[in-house]
């Protein structure tokens, strides 16, 4: 179904903004690594719940296999032949919206990595859309003059660096989804979600057991708010992987810049943070880039 990837991306973007907000609230008590671990540790049970539901739903097309399309039956159980990349991004900044914007220098890097590792094509329209939207991101995150500029350097570097990690992760996950020997994109996306969360839970739990056991104890004590954050993390990731299964990571992550608008709306409601005129103009550029992407 044409455009389905865009629906998945918009839902994923909204879910991710809400998850980020929940994690930001948890950072004060759990620390950045602890709050990051919440989305994996409490997201894994939901991913494990998604998988059997998806596998059961995937049984329906087996009837077609009996009429000649044996590949559907053979591919119902995916066979992974590549690993997944681990992502740990730390987000620290003066504003929830601007922090989100720093990370959104990602699409250009995604396009480059996608071209190098997956052979994803970059069309003129896609390039123009990415450049327009990224210009808006740079305008939004550019340090202010004077003392404010100095204070803005560290979050900018952290945001751009984490954007690079997100780019590598996006390409890694899309490559993993494509490597699964199943014709069902929903099954491939869900299996990738489960395997990715398993790796992330194992690595971060091991790290915290060695480096910060108090953070693990704090996570257990904060299980009630962490549970919803974990669900939103698993749900948003499921939507991302469905989009990656259908479209190039560059297009998905460019459309995902719409997340900044969702972040602004959430900030007004939750954090009462207002947007400056320059930031509003920058968001206009981002919207123009997204519109160009969808209409090319």
Q: How many domains does the chain have?
A: 1
- What phi-psi label fits residue 22: left (phi over 0), alpha (psi between -120 and 50 degrees) or beta? alpha
Give a yes or no: residue 291 inside a domain.
yes
- Tell me the pTM: 0.77
Q: Do the domain assignments include residue 235?
A: yes
Q: Looking at the domain assignment, is residue 65 inside a domain?
A: no
Range of the domain at 153: 4-59+85-295
**What are 118-164's pLDDT values in tens digits?**
888 888 888 888 888 878 877 766 655 544 544 456 666 666 677 78
**What is the C-alpha to C-alpha distance for residues 105 and 12, in angstroms, rounded to an integer?**
18
Does residue 177 lie in a domain region? yes
Classify residue 278: in a domain, yes or no: yes
Question: CB burial class (10 A; 0-12, 13-18, 19+) of residue 65?
Answer: middle
Section 25-50 average pLDDT? 88
75 occurs within a structural domain: no
pLDDT digits (tens, 9 = 90+) for 182-206: 778 899 999 999 999 999 999 999 9
Cα–Cα distance, 106 to 245 (Å, whole number): 19
Q: Is 71 part of a structural domain of the chain?
A: no
Residue 113 within a domain: yes
Q: What does the pLDDT read at residue 71?
A: 40
Between 1 and 295, residue with greater pLDDT: 295
Residues 6+ apart with CB under 8 A from 198: 44
What tens digit of pLDDT does each residue of 210-245 get? 988 888 899 989 888 889 989 999 999 999 999 999
Proportion of the chain above pLDDT 90, given as a percent: 21
């Amino acid at each position: 179904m044409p455009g389905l990837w865009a629906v998945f991306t918009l839902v994923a973007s909204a879910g991710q903004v809400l998850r980020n907000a929940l994690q930001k609230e948890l950072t004060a008590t759990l620390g950045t690594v602890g709050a990051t671990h919440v989305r994996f540790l409490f997201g894994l049970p939901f991913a494990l719940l998604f998988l059997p539901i998806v596998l059961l739903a995937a049984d329906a097309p087996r009837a077609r296999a009996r009429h000649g399309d044996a590949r559907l039956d053979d591919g119902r159980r995916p066979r992974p032949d590549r690993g997944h990349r681990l992502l740990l991004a730390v987000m620290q900044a003066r504003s929830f919206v601007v922090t989100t914007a720093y990370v959104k220098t990602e699409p250009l890097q995604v396009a480059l990595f996608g071209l190098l590792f997956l052979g994803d094509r970059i069309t003129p329209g896609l390039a123009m859309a990415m450049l327009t939207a990224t210009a808006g991101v740079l305008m939004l995150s550019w340090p202010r003059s004077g003392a404010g500029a100095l204070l803005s350097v560290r979050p900018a570097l952290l945001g751009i660096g984490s954007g690079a990690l997100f780019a590598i992760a996006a390409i890694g996950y899309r490559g993993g989804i494509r490597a699964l020997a199943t014709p069902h994109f929903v099954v491939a996306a869900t299996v990738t979600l489960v395997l990715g969360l398993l790796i992330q839970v194992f690595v971060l739990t091991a790290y915290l057991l060695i480096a910060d056991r108090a953070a693990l104890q704090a996570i257990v004590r904060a299980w009630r708010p962490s549970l919803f954050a974990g669900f939103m993390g698993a749900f948003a990731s499921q939507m991302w992987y469905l989009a990656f299964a259908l479209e190039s990571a560059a297009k998905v992550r460019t459309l995902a810049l719409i997340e900044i608008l969702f972040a602004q709306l959430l900030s007004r409601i939750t954090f009462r943070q207002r947007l400056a005129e320059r930031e509003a103009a920058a968001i206009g550029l981002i919207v123009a880039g997204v519109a160009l992407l969808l209409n090319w």
